[in-house]
Amino acid sequence: MAKENYQDSHLYKIRHSTAHVMAQAVRDLFPEGEAKIAIGPPIDNGFYYDFDLPRPLTPEDLEVIEEKMRQVLSADHQFIRRELSAEEAREIFQDQPYKQELIDGLEEGGVDEYGEPIEETPVISIYKHDDFVDLCRGPHVESTRKIEPDAVKLLNVAGAYWRGDENKPMLQRIYGTAWENQEELEDYLHRLEEAQRRDHRKLGKELNLYSTDPEVGSGLVLWKPQGAIIRHLAEEYCKDEHLANGYEFVYSPHIGKKSLWETSGHLTWYQENMYSAIEIDEEEYFLKPMNCPFHIMMYKDDLHSYRDLPLRWAEWGTVYRYERSGVLHGMMRVRGFTQDDAHIFCSPEQMPEEIDRVLNFCLHILRGFGIQEFHAYLSTRDPNKSAGEQDLWDDATDALQAALERADLNYALDEGGAAFYGPKIDLKMIDALEREWQLSTIQFDFNLPERFDLTYVGEDGAQHRPYMIHRALLGSMERFIGVLIEHFGGAFPLWLAPVQAVMIPITDRNIPYVNQAAQRLREAGIRVEVDDRSDRMGAKIRDAEKQKIPYMLVVGDREEEAGTLAPRLRSGEQLDPLSVEDLLTRMQKEILEHQQI
């Protein structure tokens, strides 16, 4: 739903109004004046409200609050708007320090009551329902009667900084959801449950793809065979495509001397995200948080002519970054990960075409994995923290924008969101719970070529500064496979499935025939297993379904006599019996499909 439509919708008003009712209920849970209320906007799929309370809220509190809300909602309390002066508002909210701060902001102008910047001069208004008054721009439903009590549910309590600033007090945030009717609420809760089934952490365990261990360390992923084969296949496909698209591969070490990271500026700008120094022979080394300095040193090892450019150097480079403990998340946000990194060195003239190439290559790769939907962002310069000449920035930003438009991508502008060293395009995917994860990034760098004094000899015989583009298409193997697990809900397409087919003999009599057929498939490169346990077929099918194996090949006496296999797909669909050769043809065709996009 487009944001504008949502903000004008009835549902938006319902959620906004429900947030007020929740704040009222929370206020009533505490002695007068002890509950300080902050802000409570509608969000996608619900609303929240932030409070500063004398004690932490418990799940039991949520039930009490919900019950109180139902009482208020089943009565007919009008939402009444009134505009007033800052002076009068301060009087009304005299025991509410957070509201006082909001009123100050509104009076100064330039921000709305949520602290978001706005163009127009804000009008200060309050909304009152029952005995609860809140500073609010609205809009609201006419009356609490317009909200269905059975379509409201409080979900959880979380911490949130006042005004999103980690130097400000930590408040308690209650998340809730509200819908037009009970059926919609239940649909939503059902969708949430479904989404949780797709969580890569859950599937990672069920499908035995990866693990982590406190003894190894937080945010360090152990790729088990079933996960490693998926990664291997993904890498193999990508690497072949890189070679076919004008890239060369390089390798670089995992550590580098302190002086390297001083020159690159990482020790100045990035040290808090780096693992601490390793000292040996009175020399300090650091684990690499990025691959760029190494690729740059390789560039510097030779004298380059304009005829050599562009150079496209790729590396599946494993980097280590200290991520704060609270941000770690399954495979999606980790401390050690392998980027499908590349650096492109080109002349200024080549730059627009290179950007185009990279973006198209990126889209090609993602489509090869069946990924069609993502959110594209163009991040532009923050004048307060950036290196490089403005006209260089303008050229680069124009090139990125032009490439996005030529590729016919919808994108959002993230103004001032660029890194200090250059503008960028990011592609983000959403996970099962609609959280965004950045995968692809195409970044300009006006900084490192300067710092390392990179040059090439131009047609004119003079030294010129090359342009440098950092890019990662999958982002990191950890995050990408994590996203992919959720994208497919664990049911990987045939080419990526760890086990592509399982042979299911109905009786032990059929095992020799089945082994023979399996051998033929294996020789043809199919990853096949034989389930020769003395279990019933039904149990074997159940296990294969749980492992989301694409092909179940049932063989009983009938098939054996006819020289066929009876395939069942994981969708439950049963195909007509096929000979091994016909099955192989079918599977091989299906395996290659992803490359023909």
Partner RNA sequence: GCCGACGUAGCUCAAUCGGCAGAGCAGCCGCUUUGUAAGUGGCAGGUUAUGGGUUCAAGUCCCAUCGUCGGCUCCA
Q: In terms of C-beta distances under 8 Å and separation of at least 24 residues, what long-range contacts does 295-299 make, across chains too? A: 295/250, 295/252, 295/343, 296/264, 296/343, 296/448, 296/452, 296/454, 296/468, 297/260, 297/452, 298/250, 298/252, 299/345, 299/454
Among 153, 173, 295, 381, binds RNA (CB under 7 A): 173
10 is a catalytic site residue: no
For residue 67, count other CB atoms closer than 10 A to its CB.
11
Distance CA 229, CA 496 (A): 8
Joined together, the tokens standing for residue 289 give 């948080």
Chain centroid, CA 218 distance in Å: 19
* Residues 372-411 contacting RNA, CB under 7 A: none
Q: End-to-end CA distance of the chain, in Å?
A: 29
Among 205, 364, 406, 589, binds RNA (CB under 7 A): 205
Query: Shortest distance, CB of residue 498 to RNA, whole angstroms?
Result: 17
Query: Shortest distance, CB of residue 124 to RNA, whole angstroms?
Result: 24
The answer to whether 111 contacts RNA (rule: CB under 7 A) is no
The answer to whether 275 contacts RNA (rule: CB under 7 A) is no
The answer to whether 559 contacts RNA (rule: CB under 7 A) is yes
96 is a catalytic site residue: no
Query: Shortest distance, CB of residue 170 to RNA, whole angstroms?
Result: 4
Q: Are 381 and 416 in contact (CB under 8 A)?
A: yes
**Phi-psi map region of 521: left, alpha, beta (phi>0 left; psi -120 to 50 alpha):** alpha
Residue type (1 letter), 172: Q
Distance CA 176, CA 293 (A): 47
Among 190, 522, 536, 589, binds RNA (CB under 7 A): 536
* Residues 211-270 contacting RNA, CB under 7 A: 212, 214, 217-219, 265-266, 269-270
* β-sheet bridge partners, residue 108: none
Binding track over 22-61 against RNA, x by CB under 7 A: ----------------------------------x-x---
Residue type (1 letter), 275: Y
The answer to whether 592 contacts RNA (rule: CB under 7 A) is no
341, 431, 445, 531: the catalytic one is 341
Question: 160 vs 409, which CB is nearer to RNA?
Answer: 160
Largest CA distance in the chain: 92
200, 242, 321, 487: the catalytic one is 321
Torsion from C-alpha of 400, 403, 409, 415, nearest 10 degrees: 10
Residue type (1 letter), 36: K
Question: 327 vs 597, which CB is nearer to RNA?
Answer: 327
The answer to whether 324 contacts RNA (rule: CB under 7 A) is yes
302 is a catalytic site residue: no
Among 558, 589, 593, 597, binds RNA (CB under 7 A): 558
The answer to whether 116 contacts RNA (rule: CB under 7 A) is no
464 is a catalytic site residue: no
The answer to whether 552 contacts RNA (rule: CB under 7 A) is yes
Distance CA 240, CA 24 (A): 61
Tally of helices (H runs) and strands (E runs) in the chain = 19, 27
Distance CA 456, CA 477 (A): 33
Query: Shortest distance, CB of residue 508 to RNA, whole angstroms?
Result: 4
Distance CA 259, CA 265 (A): 10
Q: Are 132 and 27 in contact (CB under 8 A)?
A: yes
Segment near RNA (CB under 7 A); pick from 151-159, 336-344, 350-358, 517-525: 151-159
Distance CA 346, CA 304 (A): 11
Question: 368 vs 493, which CB is nearer to RNA?
Answer: 493
Joined together, the tokens standing for residue 537 give 């077929």
Distance CA 487, CA 474 (A): 14
Query: Shortest distance, CB of residue 135 to RNA, whole angstroms?
Result: 20
Query: Shortest distance, CB of residue 571 to RNA, whole angstroms?
Result: 9
The answer to whether 276 contacts RNA (rule: CB under 7 A) is no
99 is a catalytic site residue: no
Distance CA 581, CA 540 (A): 24
The answer to whether 538 contacts RNA (rule: CB under 7 A) is yes
Contacting positions for RNA (CB under 7 A)? 56, 58, 156-161, 164-166, 170, 172-173, 199, 201, 205, 212, 214, 217-219, 265-266, 269-270, 273, 289-290, 323-330, 333, 419-421, 433, 435, 438, 506-509, 534-539, 541-542, 545-546, 552, 554, 556-559, 566, 568, 572, 574
Residues marked as catalytic: 292, 321, 339, 341, 343, 424, 470
